[in-house]
Amino acid sequence: MASPYPDGDREKVASKLPGALRQELKVRAAELGIDIQDAVTTAVTDWQDHDQPLAQIDTAGADSFSTWLPPGLYESFKATCTARGVSYTQGLAQAVRRWLDTNPAANAQPVARIPERKIVCNQKGGVGKTAVAAGVAQAYAEAGKRVLLVDYDPQGHLSEQLGIEPIAPGQDSLVAHMCAEGKGDLRDLLVTIEGERFGGRLRVLPACFDGFLLDAKIATSRSIRHQETTLERALKPLEDDFDVIVIDCPPSLGIAMDAAIYYGRRRKDERPKKSGVLIPVLAEDSSATAYVMLADQIGSLVEDLELQLDYLGLVVNLYDGRRGYVATSSLDKWQQLGDPPVLAVIGDLKEQREAVRKRRALLDYAPQSDQAKAMRQIAGTAEPRAAS
């Protein structure tokens, strides 16, 4: 095939691209009145300059795709792919997807991005909220999503388990922003969790000790209206940067929990079951009592504020059938609820405790463990295949 460009201006390159993405690229280029080659050139150049993690694209069944690029651009692109640990097909798909998102058709109406919001909660302590919140967040990041994991519990167990220093009292923090006292950008407080499986896509907003006073600060503040919206107002500026936001809640039924429940409500135009509450429980009677109390609080808030809130499901954690009738009968009762469904039953196994001792993420420390597989089951993700 002869080049349509003057000698040296372009070189033909061959790669792969999913058929649906290729068709969308073709249509969008026509709508905007530009050549596909120019669109891909801009896409690849911008992708190389963009240093923030991008969501993984499903490239299964990608077909051959040829285009013309400026000399040297494709070699530079391949080097960037290697440095970022992604295949050439994945890199090109991300570049084209990002170009499509940032170059809408002239008559297209902008669509607000809504990250999925998973509120991991139970007013009873010791049920494994932190382990479930962290594990589910890791599963999403492993699957290619950009994930924000919020340590909303002032006890700071999540931060501690991942080797992150909690924020000292009086410093800029999530609590400060919830109380309209924020001094900077919350992005400056985020900590990236290391691990090849996460690709820089998993970030944590650390706990702060001021959270112990959060309910009182919100309740007595004269500048805060609508206490239930405080968490949403604080996190709203970060939402465009993430596909999923996971909140590890404190064992509480106070104002802070109301704000978390409100944040997890189904928003306008959001599909059911994308956001909502995820509730870890134990196979014992006291856990059932705590669940009823939490459900009552959720029901009251939903009714008072006329919200739509989805129960994403239950996670029966630290289960050991050898404990006898109490454990087995309690598990039966959880499973018989039907709605919310039991998403996973996680045994009392060693890998999570070992990962905590080593201050490492579970899916990085023991990706093949039963606990890691359960976290993917809860998130609805599969273990990623090796890049081709």
- Closest by alpha carbon to 156, among 173, 138, 135, 140? 173
Measure CA of the first residue to CA of the last residue in the chain; give whole Å.
27
C-alpha pair distances (Å), 154 with each of 32, 166, 205, 212: 50, 9, 12, 6
pLDDT per residue, tens digit, the chain (388 aa), is 334 444 457 888 989 999 889 999 998 988 888 889 999 999 999 999 988 888 888 888 888 999 999 999 999 999 999 998 889 999 999 999 999 988 888 766 655 678 999 999 998 888 889 999 999 999 999 999 999 999 999 999 999 999 999 999 889 999 999 988 888 999 999 999 988 899 999 999 999 988 888 888 888 776 666 888 999 999 999 999 999 999 999 988 889 999 999 999 999 888 899 999 999 998 888 888 889 999 999 999 999 989 999 999 999 988 877 778 878 888 888 888 888 999 999 988 889 999 999 999 999 999 999 999 999 999 998 776 544 3
Instruction: Give the predicted TM-score (pTM) of the model.
Output: 0.75
3-state secondary structure of 361: coil
Q: Put residue 269 in one of left, alpha, beta given phi > 0 → left and psi -120 to 50 → alpha.
A: left
Nearest one of 45, 32, 40 to 68, comparing CA atoms: 40
CA dist., res. 325 & res. 376, Å (int)? 29
CB-based contact 369:362 (threshold 8 Å): yes
Tell me, what amino acid is at 115? P
Question: Cα–Cα distance between 232 and 305 in angstroms, integer?
Answer: 15
pLDDT for the residue numbered 117: 97
Instruction: Please give the pLDDT value at position 115.
Output: 95
Residue 361 to residues 129, 343, 378, Cα–Cα distance (Å): 15, 21, 17
pLDDT tens-digit map of 357-367: 999 999 999 99
